[in-house]
């Protein structure tokens, strides 16, 4: 089946132009009603309803998550399944300071524009609503539940400081540390106590003592979650929470070992007992080169200047990293703020509903839809993307579906994954 992809893209642009007002209304509505992880009822219902009205076949609550959905546009002929992902959760206290309203609305716009374009194509496009990116790992839960089993490739857009397609993200995990000591009167009988707070402090000091020996991409950052109850009582219990991240999982494991050594040293030096619990974080993102190239061309086509990430690029973590470990995927970025503003700030939240944020919704919808069009019109591109993924897996750069699932089962069983 010969598809005239340039004509298809022209119809996509026209469709997004026609959808301008409803797409921005949705973006602003989600922005004005921030919902925390797994509680995104209003946003997911609105997105699912609009996709259904636009002609997509919607299944709500997929993967056992009430605020997840999957909206499918069938091309009318057998072929691959592409997934465009939508996030819509917000942050405590500062609302849409990560701009997920833009992610949601650009994915919505792409799905609706592809439906309006009226183009027949081999395969399916699924807009998947993925809850709880901010700490809940919604994409991990959906992938484990099989929601990505039939997906051949996946991509999404995240607002940021610049237009990028090849930016990665950090592998992460979280550690809860609890030290158990012994209470005593802090003035009257301090010699009878064991100070759990000092063990927490020693842990921070120990980690800081290792920082010069850590790679530049290492991120070991913690907070003290409990430091005692009264100043005249030697703290019998103190706790801290750490996030440990690095560009790849192997080095992330070495950093976890360094933290463990510091915590054990804190226990030994104070006489407190250490309780250690690690919970799964997110895997690092490995962008698929072919899909990234297609997205870069479409980003340029909407008038944006694609920049390459710096060698020492600063970045966070995302559950899209896990998706990139199981299938060809790209987590692209679209600029809404200058370089001086980071996400997870009040300034970024303001930008997410500003004219720059609105432009990202509309450009994003066009770019995502055009990327789907390219990949569906030329089966050679997807074959190339899959070949690259197989090479990445052979080189140990990505886990592959089976290894990724097995690692998840080990985490669930409480094993320390080395």
Sites of contact with Zn ion (CB under 5 A)? 98
- In the bound state with Zn ion, the residue whose beta carbon lies nearer, of 98 and 194, is 98
- In the bound state with Zn ion, the residue whose beta carbon lies nearer, of 98 and 367, is 98
- In the bound state with Zn ion, the residue whose beta carbon lies nearer, of 101 and 270, is 101
- In the bound state with Zn ion, the residue whose beta carbon lies nearer, of 13 and 161, is 161
Task: Decide: helix, strand or coil at residue 70.
Answer: strand
Token duo for residue 39: 């509680």
Token duo for residue 85: 């992902």
- In the bound state with Zn ion, the residue whose beta carbon lies nearer, of 193 and 287, is 287
Task: List % helix, strand, coil for the chain (3-state, nearest 5).
Answer: 45, 20, 35
Q: How far apart (Å, rounded) are the C-alpha atoms in residues 285 and 245?
A: 12
Q: Are 329 and 320 in contact (CB under 8 A)?
A: yes
Cβ 346 to Zn ion, closest distance in Å? 15
Q: How far apart (Å, rounded) are the C-alpha atoms in residues 335 and 316?
A: 16
Cβ 133 to Zn ion, closest distance in Å? 6
Cβ 391 to Zn ion, closest distance in Å? 29
- In the bound state with Zn ion, the residue whose beta carbon lies nearer, of 157 and 262, is 157
Cβ 97 to Zn ion, closest distance in Å? 9
Neighbours of 214 (CB within 10 A): 16
Q: How far apart (Å, rounded) are the C-alpha atoms in residues 210 and 159?
A: 34
Listed residue (190, 185, 191, 282) closest to 243, CA to CA: 282
Cβ 284 to Zn ion, closest distance in Å? 16
Residue linked to tokens 């992902």: 85
Torsion of CA 108, 113, 115, 116, to 10 degrees: 140
Q: How far apart (Å, rounded) are the C-alpha atoms in residues 383 and 319?
A: 25
- In the bound state with Zn ion, the residue whose beta carbon lies nearer, of 127 and 256, is 127
Residues recorded for the chain: 418
Q: Give the strand pairing for 121-129 and 76-86.
A: parallel
Q: How far apart are the first and last CA of the chain?
A: 48
- In the bound state with Zn ion, the residue whose beta carbon lies nearer, of 158 and 237, is 158
Token duo for residue 209: 């003592």
Cβ 400 to Zn ion, closest distance in Å? 26
- CA distances (Å), origin 202, targets 181, 199, 241, 253: 14, 5, 14, 21
Cβ 134 to Zn ion, closest distance in Å? 7
Residue nearest to Zn ion (CB): 98
- In the bound state with Zn ion, the residue whose beta carbon lies nearer, of 208 and 354, is 354
Cβ 100 to Zn ion, closest distance in Å? 6
Q: How far apart (Å, rounded) are the C-alpha atoms in residues 97 and 40?
A: 15
Cβ 84 to Zn ion, closest distance in Å? 16
């Amino acid at each position: 089946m010969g598809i005239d992809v340039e004509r298809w893209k022209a119809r996509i642009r026209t469709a997004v132009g026609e959808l301008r007002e409803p797409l921005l209304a949705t973006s602003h509505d989600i922005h004005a009603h921030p919902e925390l992880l797994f509680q995104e009822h209003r946003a997911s219902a609105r997105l699912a309803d609009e996709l259904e009205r636009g002609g997509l076949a919607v299944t709500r609550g997929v993967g056992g998550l009430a605020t997840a959905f999957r909206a499918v546009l069938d091309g009318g002929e057998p072929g691959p399944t592409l997934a465009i992902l939508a996030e819509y959760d917000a942050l405590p206290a500062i609302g849409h300071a990560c701009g997920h309203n833009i992610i949601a609305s650009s994915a919505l716009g792409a799905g609706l524009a592809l439906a309006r374009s009226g183009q027949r194509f081999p395969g399916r496009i699924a807009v998947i609503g993925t809850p709880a990116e901010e700490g809940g790992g919604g994409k991990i839960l959906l992938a484990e539940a099989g929601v990505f089993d039939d997906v051949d490739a996946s991509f999404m857009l995240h607002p940021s400081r610049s237009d990028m397609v090849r930016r990665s993200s950090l592998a992460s995990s979280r550690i809860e540390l609890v030290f158990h000591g012994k209470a005593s009167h802090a003035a009257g009988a301090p010699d009878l106590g064991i100070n759990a707070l000092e063990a927490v402090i020693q842990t921070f000091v120990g980690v800081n003592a290792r920082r010069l020996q850590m790679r530049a991409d290492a991120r070991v950052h913690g907070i003290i979650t409990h430091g005692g109850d009264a100043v005249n009582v030697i703290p019998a219990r103190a706790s801290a929470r750490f996030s440990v991240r690095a560009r790849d999982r192997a080095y992330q494991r070495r950093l976890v070992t360094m933290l463990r050594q510091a915590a054990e040293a804190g226990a030994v030096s104070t006489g407190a007992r250490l309780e250690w619990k690690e919970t799964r974080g997110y895997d690092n993102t490995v962008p698929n080169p072919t899909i990234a190239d297609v997205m870069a061309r479409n980003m340029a086509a909407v008038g944006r200047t694609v920049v390459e990430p710096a060698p020492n690029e600063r970045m966070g973590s995302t559950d899209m990293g896990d998706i990139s470990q199981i299938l060809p995927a790209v987590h692209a970025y679209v600029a809404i703020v200058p370089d001086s503003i980071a996400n997870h700030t009040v300034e970024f939240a303001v930008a997410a509903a500003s004219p720059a944020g609105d432009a990202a919704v509309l450009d994003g919808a066009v770019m995502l839809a055009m990327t789907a069009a390219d990949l569906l019109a030329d089966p050679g591109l997807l074959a190339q993307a899959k070949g690259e993924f197989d090479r990445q897996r052979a080189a140990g750069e990505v886990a592959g579906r089976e290894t990724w699932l097995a690692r998840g089962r080990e985490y669930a069983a409480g094993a320390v994954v080395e």
